[in-house]
Structure formats: C-alpha cells, structure tokens
Amino acid sequence: MLIAIPDLLSADELGEIRQTIDAADWIDGNVTSGHQSALAKNNEQLPEDSDAAQRAGRMILDALGRSPLFFASSLPLRIFPPLFNRYGEGQEFDIHVDNAIRIKRGSEFRIRSDLSVTLFLEAPEDYDGGELIVEDHYGAQRVKLPAGHAVVYPSSSLHKVTPVTRGRRVASFFWLQSMVRDAEARRLLFDLDRSVQRLTGELGGKDRSVIELTGVYHNLLRRWADS
C-alpha cells in the first residue's frame, strides 16, 4: 500500500528545514548503505549525527505527530530518526530493497523496517528526473510530490530514484516499525478507519453504527498490535 501524505510540512517549516540543511556539510550517501545498496546508490547525505540533521529531523517528527493520515496509514511503533539526501545532475539510486533491520549508529536503537517514508523538500518544477519508483503488485508506481508532501510505502518493495537530469532533488527519508506487522492487516485497519471517519462526518459521532464500527476498529487493533 502506497499512501501520499499531503502538506505534512507548512511553508514556514519547509523553509526552516531547507535553511538548516542547505547550510550544512554533506557527505557521500553510501554511509548508510548496505552492501547491495552501495552498488546502486549515487547521492549525497547529511551525516545523521550532525546538528543540522538532528534539528531538521525533530521538526519532521513533530509534524508526523500532528498528522492523523500518517498515523492511520502506518500505525507507528518506532520511527528511525529522519535522514536527508540530495541528488545532483546525473545522480540516482538504482533498483534496491531496504534493509530489514535499521540500527542507529552508536546506539542500541534499532527497528524492523516495515514502512519507508520519503518527504520531498524540493519543488518538482525545480528539477527533472528524480522520480521515486515503487514496484508493487499493480506495477511500477511513479512518485514526484510537491515540497512538504510525503509518501509512505512498504520497505519490502523494490524501488529506485531515477537519474536527475536538471536541478537538484532534496528529500528526507526514514523508516518505521509499525504496531501492526502484517501489511494486509494494516491495510484493512486503514480502510476501516477511513470509512469510520467518513461516516462520522455524515452521521455524527453519536450515531450507533459509528460507535459500533469504531469499536470494531479498536478491537481489531488490540488483536493485531504489538506494543
């Protein structure tokens, strides 16, 4: 399941994040790569322990906490601190799959990567190429969103970033471990949550059917969730 999260960042937040990371020192993007990814990856990245990355990452985590759509689509248990990359002309990240376990360097923090997130930080009209392509059962999905918008997709999927042919692609990327490990169960919960929210708007929160369906949602979550 691939879910777009529109307007995750406000214009002011986007501007502050870009000001913070654009002034920082960038390094070769393969510092976070596994062996297979290193063969396919050609980009730059902020050091994950840099002041700029940590400051900008905290702003993104705050924004995620305010997004009902992000919570409903991912049901996050643990989120890897956001990282930042950029692609200049000719740079790309060829087809790969994300590592199953992500470990924060120099700490005991680790997650199972159930879902991957890309948060676009550059306006799409300012660069050519640089599309995120995610392969799923329905074929290849091409993603290139406005700055401040994010996309959530399965970490188990094959995906790539196409070569940038003009300008520069800047983004944040990170992974999360969901409370609900099973992808199909997450999808069913997401669909049910969307239906409950729609019915609440149409019938009101005190409607008996809305209350019962809300109970079904939470009872399924209790059954499937790890805490």
Annotated binding-site ranges for 2-oxoglutarate: 169
CB 5 within 8 A of CB 67: yes
Specify binding-site residues.
Answer: 96, 98, 159, 169
Whether 135 and 159 have beta carbons less than 8 Å apart is answered as yes
| Binding site, annotated residues for Fe cation | 96, 98, 159
Sequence-distant (≥ 6) Cβ neighbours of residue 68 within 8 angstroms: none
Amino acid at 20: T
3-state secondary structure string across 16-57: HHHHHHHCCCCEEHHHHCCHHHHCCEECEECCCCCHHHHHHH
Contacts of residue 49, Cβ cutoff 8 Å, sequence gap at least 6? 105, 106
The neighbour count for residue 97, using CB atoms within 10 Å, is 17
Q: What is the DSSP string of 150-190?
A: EEEEETTS-EEEPPEEES-EEEEEEEEEESS--HHHHHHHH
Q: With beta carbons less than 8 A apart as the criterion, state whether 101 and 111 touch.
A: yes
